[in-house]
Amino acid sequence: MTTLPDPVNLQTIADNLSDAVFMIDKESEIVWLNKQAEEFFNTSFEDARGKKVTELTGVKKMKALINDVFQTKAPLECSYEEASIKIKRKDKRYFFKISINPVFHNREMWGGLVQLSDVTRFHEMEKIKTDFVSIVSHEFRTPLTTIIVGVEMLREGMLGDLTPRGKEVLEAIGSDCERLSRLIDNLMELSRIESGTIYVEAEPTDVPDLVDEAVRPLKVQAEKKGVELITDIPPQIPPVVADFNKSVWVLANLLGNALRYTDAGGSITVRVRQRGKRLFFSVEDTGCGIPKEHQEKIFRKYVQVSGPGRKGAGGVGLGLSIAKDIVMAHGGEIWVDSKMGEGTTFTFTFPVFQGEKSVTLPESE
């Protein structure tokens, strides 16, 4: 075994880590940092010592993350998005993943160890992927539109009569075209969101109009399936501050899901209620339900629940993650309540329109 050269102490080891590491006390004040942290924050141990962590890093979000760790006395546990921060240094933007661990001494928690790992390269690769998805899905649109028009012409008999078998094949092509078209829409919406260009054009929006626009296209499908579609909107409901197309998109996606997972004889209710300065939109179904352990995960990209009664459901698991981004860009929230075998209710909130001043949406980070 090779012995470590003398003198090697913990500081030497910490200084040779590729991550920036620093230690804070319970007041979130810096008590120690390694060389990487000194270099990155352009400071020295003497200068940094005693400073608040937000003062050193310039990242406000860190305060809440540290508070979480101090309260739970457990390592930071949150999604990748929540744990990543953006720091601008010398005209370049760096992305870091934060890890925070509580530090114990004599079984008492006295502070925390914060580690920042540089993930800028991964972010750049993500960007390339997002751009690629955006270009490819855009390029798919044109030929797909041609196919859809062709199918429509054949369906309407404009190109002559089809045999019953021909009609069946055409129906299958038609419904696959619809799936493909939905997938392309979702991918394009997603790449717009990921590239940070989700643009919410919020304005006072009439609630019955919004609900009707989302419900109307599904009426025939629901009827065919034997599922009742109910809307429950109080007559005096005030307008919301929302981007009309994007909020219709959210509602239509929740309705699409509800219809997909509700069997004949069931019902779907779109309900709108006002509570204070917010409107609560909910889509309630009497479908198969979502198991408890999946309820939080389904808002992540590409997450779908597998299991009996879910065969042939289609889709790729993007709808809810896009819906969440859109709702959050409006300063709202979205969540799910569900009981297996009884049904599912998705609820999201939008701000009530309260005169011209309220059109400004809360800033999203």
Ligand X SMILES: Nc1ncnc2c1ncn2[C@@H]1O[C@H](COP(=O)(O)OP(=O)(O)OP(=O)(O)O)[C@@H](O)[C@H]1O
Q: Does 69 bind ligand X (CB under 6 A)?
A: no
Nearer to Mg ion, 239 or 315 (CB): 315
**E strand or H helix that includes residue 222:** helix 219-225
Nearer to ligand X, 31 or 303 (CB): 303
Of 200, 184, 280, the C-alpha closest to 238 is: 280
Q: Which residue is nearest to Mg ion (CB)?
A: 319
Least CB distance to Mg ion at residue 343 (A): 16
Determine which residue in the list 36, 137, 257, 286 makes contact with ligand X, applying CB under 6 A.
257
| Site mask for ligand X (CB under 6 A), range 270-309, x = bound | ---------------x-xx-x-------x----xxx----
Determine which residue in the list 150, 238, 239, 315 makes contact with ligand X, applying CB under 6 A.
315
355 burial class (0-12, 13-18, 19+ CB within 10 angstroms)? exposed
Residue carrying the six token digits 């808002």: 299
- 227 makes contact, choosing from Mg ion, ligand X, none, with CB < 5 to 8 Å by partner type, with none
# of chain residues touching ligand X (CB under 6 A):
22
Q: Going along the chain, which residue ranges are E strands?
A: 20-25, 30-33, 84-89, 92-105, 108-118, 203-205, 228-232, 240-242, 267-275, 278-285, 334-339, 343-351
Least CB distance to ligand X at residue 293 (A): 13
Q: Does 317 bind ligand X (CB under 6 A)?
A: yes
- Residue 183: CB atoms within 10 Å: 16
Q: Which of residues 79-108 bind Mg ion (CB under 5 A)?
A: none
Residue carrying the six token digits 């050193």: 56
Least CB distance to ligand X at residue 305 (A): 3
Half-sphere exposure of 220 (CA within 13 A, CB side): 1
76 DSSP 8-state letter: -
- 344 makes contact, choosing from Mg ion, ligand X, none, with CB < 5 to 8 Å by partner type, with ligand X
| Secondary structure (3-state) at 93 | strand
18 burial class (0-12, 13-18, 19+ CB within 10 angstroms)? exposed
Q: Does 318 bind ligand X (CB under 6 A)?
A: yes
Segment contacting Mg ion (CB under 5 A): 55-63, 90-98, 107-115, 310-318? 310-318
Least CB distance to ligand X at residue 294 (A): 7
Nearer to ligand X, 277 or 339 (CB): 339
272 DSSP β-pair partners: 281
Nearer to ligand X, 63 or 271 (CB): 271
Nearer to ligand X, 193 or 318 (CB): 318
Distance CA 80, CA 132 (A): 22
Q: Does 319 bind Mg ion (CB under 5 A)?
A: yes
Region of residue 243 (phi > 0: left; psi between -120 and 50: alpha; otherwise: beta) = beta
Least CB distance to Mg ion at residue 61 (A): 30
Q: Does 214 bind ligand X (CB under 6 A)?
A: no
- 287 makes contact, choosing from Mg ion, ligand X, none, with CB < 5 to 8 Å by partner type, with ligand X
Q: Does 243 bind ligand X (CB under 6 A)?
A: no
Q: Does 344 bind ligand X (CB under 6 A)?
A: yes
Half-sphere exposure of 277 (CA within 13 A, CB side): 10
# of chain residues touching Mg ion (CB under 5 A):
3
Q: How far is CA 75 from CA 60, 72, 229, in A?
A: 19, 8, 46
Give me the residues that bind ligand X (CB under 6 A), please.
182, 186, 253, 257-258, 261, 285, 287-288, 290, 298, 303-305, 315-321, 344
Interface ranges with Mg ion (CB under 5 A): 257, 315, 319
